[in-house]
Amino acid sequence: MPPPLLTYAAMKRVSMVVSLTFLFAFSLAAQQPAKPTLRELTLEAIFDPKDKVAFAGAPQSGFVWIDDKTFAWPRTNEKGDVQEWL
């Protein structure tokens, strides 16, 4: 009879390593993503020189003001041609 491929002790070590690997992978997958800290948006928070709020992005353009409170914004296609006004 040929000798066994793995002894009982070796099979026990392999099963322990596999179990620990799955537990570690599952614990990493189960962690919740970090939530951003929310703080009140005030004029002091925006203009404070030490803790100034950084706003990212580019200013929007292409608006047409209809009156003091209403504007129209063009919806364009891939070429940049105006399709309709929103």
What is residue 1's predicted lDDT score, i.e. its pLDDT?
A: 61
What are 15-61's pLDDT values in tens digits? Answer: 899 999 988 888 777 777 777 777 787 888 778 888 766 677 777 77
Model's pTM, two decimal places?
A: 0.33
Q: Are 75 and 83 in contact (CB under 8 A)?
A: yes
| Spatial contact of 64 and 85, defined as CB atoms under 8 Å apart | yes
Q: Are 46 and 33 in contact (CB under 8 A)?
A: no
pLDDT for 53 = 67
Task: Say how far residue 64 (Cα) sits from the centre of its chain.
Answer: 33
